[in-house]
């Protein structure tokens, strides 16, 4: 993903946007559909589950970016050695 141009900031922004979209989809479903509160809750939960995925992708991309960055090349926390 990183080679395709996706940065950790993009994933974090997508996570934040999905939180807002979750609330918006819940509000629209409550107001526009006659299906009731249960269906609105399902829409909100469905979209809300995207946020942790985007945040995890952001963390993974952030670690990848740190490994490529020469500033962190000698950081002992990033070196993996077997005990």
Q: Looking at residue 80, what is its pLDDT?
A: 59
The answer to whether residues 28 and 21 touch, using CB atoms and an 8 Å cutoff, is no
Distance CA 68, CA 34 (A): 52
pLDDT of residue 31: 78
pLDDT score recorded for residue 41: 79
Residue 10 predicted with pLDDT over 70: yes
Of all residues in the chain, the percent with pLDDT exceeding 90 is: 20
**What distance in Å separates the CA atoms of residue 43 and residue 47, rounded to the nearest whole number?**
6
Q: DSSP for 27-65? A: HHHHHH-SS-HHHHHHHHHHHHTHHHHHHHHHHHHHHHH
Evaluate if pTM is beyond 0.85: no
Two tokens, residue 1: 């993903």
- pLDDT tens readout for residues 34-68: 777 777 777 788 888 889 999 999 998 888 887 76
């Amino acid at each position: 993903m990183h080679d395709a141009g996706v940065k950790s900031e993009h994933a974090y922004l997508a996570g934040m946007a999905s939180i807002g979209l979750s609330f918006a989809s819940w509000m629209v479903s409550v107001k526009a559909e006659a299906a009731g509160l249960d269906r609105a809750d399902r829409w909100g939960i469905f979209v809300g589950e995207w946020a942790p995925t985007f945040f995890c992708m952001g963390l993974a991309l952030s670690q990848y970016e740190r490994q490529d960055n020469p500033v962190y090349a000698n950081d002992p926390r990033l070196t993996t050695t077997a005990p």
